[in-house]
Structure 1
Amino acid sequence: MAALDTPALSVIVVSADSGPSLRDCVNSVLACATSLELLLIDNASADGIPQAIARARENEPRLKVLYNHANLGFGPAVNRAVAQSRGATLLILNPDCLLEQPALERLLEVLQQEQKAGLVGAVVCDRQGVPDPASYRRDPLMQRALNTFFKRGGEGVNFIGSMPDHVVEAEAVSGAVMLMPRRVFEWLSGFDEDYFLHCEDLDLCRRVRDGGWRVLLAGDVHVLHGKGGSSRHRPVFVSYYKHRGMWRWFRKFDPAAHKPHLAAIVWLGIWAHFLVKIPGQLWRLLRR
């Protein structure tokens, strides 16, 4: 019982109409033999799945389901779940990720063995095994973002080529799988709650590095990530907050934000890009 009373690891999963994949995510976490607790915090889902999971697992002492009465956003929900968690190590996991014991053990090993490790990510892959470029990336500084957007030469946000198959230092990793010591998370005061959805992971990685810790990618750890489970039925809503997050990150961290003319151009570019994407998003939604 002592292991249940004081779990070594707290897994935090945020749901927001995440769909049936949430059940698979919860099942995969609870199938792990590691001493852990799972805090599922729901942002006012209307699909009833978090409640169904709570009923089906009512005798599972490792599971705690928390309910927000409104959609608070990803970072605020994680912060509230962490405040009620007990593990010395935190794993922030997307609700459409499947976690396996070997992957979890390896992530914990990297966090323990690497000096000054403040955050460890994994290579997140789709169902065909294709890695998400966001698993290993650089800060989205203006020049890099332009190089990536226009597919021109020079350093971009994403690394070109195959994913590393070993532990490497990174500027940022995917927010779908983020392992970190509680003491680091608390020292940073958790996620910046002025982000609602998207870019809060980039912000957290940057602040980890600015605080003197290392952000690492465990390139030999692959985690299946369904991607987009909670956004398929509301693409414009998600896109709006993604673009808003881009603007906040730019203002906080990019030196170009201190030049008013460049900041104005970036602001116009971000919101023009958002508007251009709306027709295609609505068309795809209507065709479903």
Structure 2
Amino acid sequence: MSAGTPPDGGAIAAVVATYQSASTIDACLQRLRVADGVAAIRVVDNNSNDGTLVIVQRHAAHDPRVRFIANPDNPGFAVACNQGAREAAHAEPAPGWLAFVNPDCLVERDSLARLRALAASHEEALLGADLVDQTGVRDPAARRRQPDFARMLGAGLAGVVPAAGRSARRAGAASTAVAPDDSQPLQPVGAVSGALMLMPRGLFTRIGGFDEGYRLHAEDLDLCRRAHEAGALIAVANQVRVVHVRGVSSRARPLFVEWHKHRGLWRYFGKFEAARCSALTRAGVFAAIWLRFPFAVMRAVLRSRSRDTV
């Protein structure tokens, strides 16, 4: 942005972090390119080798709003999102809004503009959408409480270690998921899903962006918590529905993904809760998180194999 050029308060910059996203990135970018209010699209690729960049390059050749960064390695989701946000600041004029969109999210033409209109009615807001899968089933990760590991530990680890007869994913989701309340067009929650987030660029800058100490998962919880502590509303737009094709980038590497997911949970606990907990509680939470790890890996492997056979 040149000196003296004000940001475009209504324009949206869409930031997409990709890794092995060839199966969905074409549809994702097609939809973003026709989405209302999108003035810039920044794709940051974390060293894909499945043809993702070829698809992105094709879109960039036909639309000057699309630019990309090709990382030589995979520094993680948080790093890529921060890179994209910084690059979006160079658009002329710099968009006033940032939308972080997973490559497996398929927005409707008016999705981001509707989120922006809802967010603009509040002093500051970080909003998510009503995420659903291809069959219309709602994603519980779209509406969450902030986790309280010490409380869950005291409740018998119900949300950390899978109880008998329940999968690891169901147990984890049950601990933080918030039921949809469709009577509220804008439903306040503790955290929205990082698959789709819209917020003012000024808020993102003020709170320091994503914490790059996370590699995968929990960085969205962290960002929402810091935005809330900075005074922003965290909410889900229940009438803005977006299809999220879950798990596309992670199917081939379930061990890698689950390792960094659990590492992220431990980082989150250490950052926000550990200081007010006893040594015994800290040890208990550590054990609970990592006892859950093998169950989560096993389930992820089985889920990946079942998809491969379909």
TM-score by length of 2: 0.84
Task: Report the CA distance shift for 1:32/1:185 in structure 2 as closer, same or farther (over 3 A).
Answer: same
In 2, Cα distance between equivalents of 1:268 and 1:228:
26
Are 2:139 and 1:120 equivalent residues in the alignment? no
Q: Quote the offset at 1:58 in angstroms.
A: 0.5
The residue matched to 1:227 in structure 2 has which SS? coil
Are 2:103 and 1:95 equivalent residues in the alignment? yes
- Residues 41 and 65 of structure 1 are in contact (CA less than 8 Å); yes or no, is this contact kept in structure 2? yes
Could you say which residue in structure 1 is the equivalent of 2:278?
A: 259
- Code of the residue aligned with 1:106 in structure 2: it is R
In 2, Cα distance between equivalents of 1:283 and 1:131:
22
Q: How does 1:2-41 map to 2 (within 5 A)?
A: 8-41=11-44
The residue matched to 2:199 in structure 1 has which SS? strand
Q: Detail structure 1 runs of 4+ shifted over 6 Å in the superposition.
A: none
The alignment's C-alpha RMSD in Å is 2.3
Could you say which residue in structure 2 is the equivalent of 1:234?
A: 253
Q: Quote the offset at 1:164 in angstroms.
A: 5.4
| Equivalent residue in structure 2 for 1:49, among 9, 34, 52 | 52
The residue matched to 1:107 in structure 2 has which SS? helix
Could you say which residue in structure 2 is the equivalent of 1:67?
A: 70
In 2, Cα distance between equivalents of 1:28 and 1:15:
16
Bigger Cα displacement from structure 2, 92-101 vs 254-263:
254-263
Task: Report the CA distance shift for 1:257/1:244 in structure 2 as closer, same or farther (over 3 A).
Answer: farther
Structure 1, unaligned runs of 5 or more: none
Q: How does 1:159-198 map to 2 (within 5 A)?
A: 159-160=178-179, 166-198=185-217
Percent identity of equivalent pairs: 34
- Residues 250 and 257 of structure 1 are in contact (CA less than 8 Å); yes or no, is this contact kept in structure 2? no
- Residues 117 and 215 of structure 1 are in contact (CA less than 8 Å); yes or no, is this contact kept in structure 2? no
Structure 2, unaligned runs of 5 or more: 1-6, 89-93
Q: Quote the offset at 1:259 in angstroms.
A: 1.3
Q: How many residues align?
A: 281
In 2, Cα distance between equivalents of 1:206 and 1:72:
23
TM-score by length of 1: 0.90
- Residues 13 and 97 of structure 2 are in contact (CA less than 8 Å); yes or no, is this contact kept in structure 1? yes
Deviations 1:42-82 (A, max 9, x none): 00001122223313541311100111111010011111111
Task: Report the CA distance shift for 1:266/1:222 in structure 2 as closer, same or farther (over 3 A).
Answer: same
